[in-house]
Structure 1
């Protein structure tokens, strides 16, 4: 009850949230604590039932990642495609036509170079105009650049088209994890991470299957049709974007509290007794107020200041570790260098990708029972051992005469695909959306995705020179290099990777602001009274 001109007036939840004046701190905190409790109390089945519309919409817009995974696999997969080799390659004695290593490198890094710039540029319209409008515009731009890839008259034009396409595709890797994570409650985050990683694998599997189906074609359409099929995705996804509400977190940050509540009502069932969207919006307000206190701005430079510096370190390292933890090379082309014929190479590529897809789906259910830190660190350790073993199997002098060595390497690569997609593959996306603050989320995610791209540029540029028979011809021995890097990654994870499972955005903010050591995150008890005191101080200083 509040006293206004001598009268007792009851203030409703909605009035606290939608007033044009600053909310009363005590009322806001009480409402927010209720929203925080709701987030923790929801079971997985309850969340899926209440937010079934939101889950469906998120699953559909995540098809965008299939497009990203598909396009990223196009050019590297074509290096082993006879029609592509005949059109853009040159004769190599004993190995038929091969695309020159310099063009393999240029095409291999084209999407990732574009991704570096595209990921950063996308953060600005995301903050100015919202996640929803930005996604729609980028889908239209992607459609416009596909003809340059389909009808490229030379490898130079094709490479340019891949660079431009990569610029737009880089935005999706920032947009989709950021947007999707802001549409669903915390209990569904493991499934969201599994969904994103599954979409990447589905894109790769789709590309592998299509490439195999055209592997016997000699016509130029053997590679033109796979490029043209990229038009399918914008046609499917654009209507879904129209139906999907804007991010409630973005709306709250921009003072559109009632619109945020409406957005939540489009994602979940507001009539369910377990849910109170007014309290959910209050929780978002409270988190935003706290972040305004501890963060002075929202620029890229702010990601490297104060406690945000440690967050940024984590976001950089998770993709650094991931990119070097699996053999960063086109599987089909790598199999060819292990003396496997073209048809079998494509079949093996499909088999390995299928295993990855199955494990990516399983990971969504597997990861809900285990912590981020333990699973990610263990996954890196196992992959390091596999990489070193693949390298040692390449050393025997009788390697070329004994096919068992190549068979063992292929089996290990299949196991590595399974381990990767059960552990570090999906967990990267959980950590990617959990660690950043809301105010710096798009910028932080862009830095992480750019790191992923830079690592991809390095590996995609170097690898052709290492395994190409016309160059170093190192074949499986390249895994000594990647395994050595993974050994370093394992120790970084052990000392620096925190546990963020079952933590709300506000709780994670608190842990980083109070500089809690990584190995204490899991059992640390949040001091809500101290958080209340800090928020009240912040509110008083703004009055």
Structure 2
């Protein structure tokens, strides 16, 4: 034992003990936490699958709630290409000689859902902290079943907007709960797979939206749009039936001081046939991380997200999600409408949409292989650079007068979808889950997703005016605008996004506490247990020096 203990916590409140005033108990808990941390960091993928099969199943079930949101948001963009939908909810343009939903009402429909999601996010951040992820999701599913009736029976575009606002409330709850739950019920090696599966659910929903639209686009009655709306009832009931039996996150129980409930949840998430697994050690690791964050003065309110080191974490998580809207991905949701406005026949545009989303699912599955070998930061930055190049090509193709140019545009947008779902799309969910602190995870995700939805209101308005034949009518030249925002996003990612790959939550807490620059996260050595000796739990000086090596 050296006389000078490493300086790692970084506040200036004077010496304190990490857990209690009982050194013997603290020593045992820290020893167990360190053993569990080492075991988790050296766990292989196959070992994690064998040990956490139930956690995988419950996380997948909870994440599948977002299939509905991906379905509806893609559904609206595709319905704008449906003649029957336009005749029911749009107006007749003498100049164009056809029915169309105006850019203003398109914005109202898209932004109505976003406004509802912001409300749902804020409510879910409070409710999930108080009542847990499970009960929040169950209540949201019940609301979802009720609100779909408004969409299905909407007599006019005004009621349709109300329906989108109401449905947005449970969608917002799903957005905040699913990544938090997925990141807390599984070990390090499984987190990227379970969190990025959320993106897969989005793509699955988008694929079904394109398939249902293609199957109903040739209908000449009201069922051309009622069938697509009614399909949304397929998801909530079976998910609700299964979710009733799901365990709560053990991290949530620890934050509420209930170690026994946390242990019971952990046992329900793991296989009982593994003799090497010690539930008590894993609970000690969760307790250690929770207490470490409390020592760093991390509270549990929205205000705490903007204090101290959590201000930087909030900025990064918010920025990562804003990049999703500013990187040009919004065009994917308007794929069929985009191609229709560029001159393609409606049925062909829906067929290409299905191909687009099928390739998106392949891309998301491919990202799992990529993330096991490459850092999140590298994947995210490289993906943005590829998106930038594709957007420039799409914009340039708009100047061609050849008949095949519209097919070339469609092909490039399909490639764009693959690149997005191979890189930026899925890795975002891993980043926002890992870079927020465990005590403030739900609220940080709420703030980030609310900022994402608020930015989407702007993006949807701009996109609708850019593409609408009754407004700016830019067509494929729209891609140039989003190439500019994509470039700005890439610059921010390069300077601000850290690398969380293979880090425990305790390690990330200390890296942020010591204000390590984003580009140095991957190469900085850190040991969250280095400040304690082997034979005693000692008082820790907290006059941190952020420039000191963390080991």
TM-score, normalised by the number of residues in structure 2: 0.91
Indicate how the Cα distance of structure 1 residues 83 and 254 shifts in structure 2: closer, same or farther if over 3 A, else same. same
| 1:366, distance to aligned residue in structure 2 (A) | 2.3
Q: Which protein has greater RCO, CA pairs closer than 8 Å, 6+ apart?
A: 2
Q: Residue 195 of structure 2 corresponds to which residue in structure 1?
A: 193
Deviations 1:201-231 (A, max 9, x none): 0000011100110000111112112212212
How has the CA–CA distance of structure 1 residues 136 and 20 changed in structure 2, closer, same or farther, with 3 Å as cutoff? farther
1:303-322 aligned at under 5 Å gives the runs 303-322=305-324
Query: For this pair of structures, how many residues does the alignment match?
Result: 519
The change in CA–CA distance for 1:538 and 1:303 in structure 2 (over 3 A counts) is farther
Are 1:342 and 2:346 an aligned pair? yes
Structure 2 partner of 1:462: 462
Q: Any idea what SS the aligned residue of 1:403 has?
A: coil
2:302 to 296, 300, 303: 300
Q: Aligned-pair distance for 1:532?
A: 3.8
The partner residue of 2:109 within 104, 107, 111 is 107
Matching residue of 1:425: 425
| Structure 1 residue 343 displacement after superposition | 0.9
Task: State the distance in 1 between where 2:97 and 2:338 align.
Answer: 14
Alpha-carbon separation, structure 2, partners of 1:479 and 1:419: 16
Aligned residue among 271, 275, 288 for 1:286: 288
Distance 1:139 1:170, change over 3 A: same
Please give the residue correspondences for 1:109-508 in structure 2 after superposition, counting only pairs within 5 Å. 109-329=111-331, 330-396=334-400, 399=401, 402-508=402-508
For residues 412 and 463 of structure 1, what CA distance do their matches in structure 2 show? 18
Q: Output the CA distance in 1 between the equivalents of 2:195 and 2:249.
A: 18
Given that residues 326 and 416 in structure 1 are in contact (C-alpha distance below 8 angstroms), is that contact kept between their aligned partners in structure 2? no
Q: For residues 264-302 of structure 1, what are the alpha-carbon distances to aligned partners after superposition, in whole Å with 9 as ceiling and x for unaligned?
A: 111112441331110000000001111111124211121
CA contact under 8 A between 1:193 and 1:364: conserved in structure 2? Answer: no
Question: How far apart are 1:46 and its partner, in Å?
Answer: 0.6
Partner SS state of residue 481, structure 1: helix
- Cα distance in 2 for residues equivalent to 1:199 and 1:375: 20
Hey, what's the Cα distance between the residues in 2 that align with 1:440 and 1:88? 42
Q: Which has the higher helix share?
A: 1
* 1:344-399 alpha-carbon deviations (Å, 9 max, x no partner): 11111111111111211222222211100111000001101111221122234xx2
Q: Distance in 1 between matches of 2:234 and 2:412?
A: 35
Judging changes above 3 Å, is the alpha-carbon distance between structure 1 residues 327 and 366 closer, same or farther for their aligned structure 2 residues? closer
Taking the aligned partners of 1:317 and 1:484, their CA distance within structure 2 comes to 17
1:446 deviation in Å?
Answer: 0.5
SS in 2 for 1:243: coil
How far apart, CA to CA, are the structure 2 residues paired with 1:205 and 1:371?
28
Shift of 1:326: 2.7
Deviations 1:485-515 (A, max 9, x none): 1111111111111110011111111111111
Answer yes or no: is the 8 Å Cα contact 1:290–1:538 preserved in 2.
no
- Find the aligned partners of 2:528 and 2:321 in 1 and give their Cα distance: 33
Listed as ranges, the gaps of 5+ residues in structure 1 are 1-18
Classify 1:72/1:150 alpha carbon distance in 2 versus 1 (closer, same or farther; 3 Å): same
**Distance change >3 Å, CA 295–CA 403, structure 1 → 2:** farther
- Work out the CA distance in 2 between the residues paired with 1:137 and 1:539: 46
Secondary structure of 2:247's aligned partner: coil
In structure 2, do the counterparts of structure 1 residues 327 and 31 end up closer, same or farther at CA, with 3 Å as the change threshold?
closer
8 A Cα contact 2:384 2:486, kept in partner: yes
Task: Normalising by structure 1, report the TM-score.
Answer: 0.92
Q: Distance in 2 between matches of 1:22 and 1:240?
A: 44
Give the RMSD, CA atoms, in angstroms.
2.1
Partner in structure 2 of residue 84 of structure 1: 85
Q: How far apart are 1:74 and its partner, in Å?
A: 2.4
Structure 1 position 234, deviation (Å): 1.5
Q: 1:468 and 1:252, CA in 2 relative to 1: closer, same or farther beyond 3 A?
A: same
More deviation, 294-303/497-506: 294-303
Shift of 1:63: 1.2
| Residues 507 and 527 in structure 2, CA contact (< 8 A), matched pair in contact too | no
**2:4 corresponding residue in structure 1:** none
Whole-Å Cα distance in 2 between the matches of residues 383 and 96 of structure 1?
34
Quick one: distance in 1 between partners of 2:40 and 2:273?
Answer: 16
1:24 is paired with a residue whose SS is helix
- Report the more deviating stretch, 371-380 or 405-414: 405-414
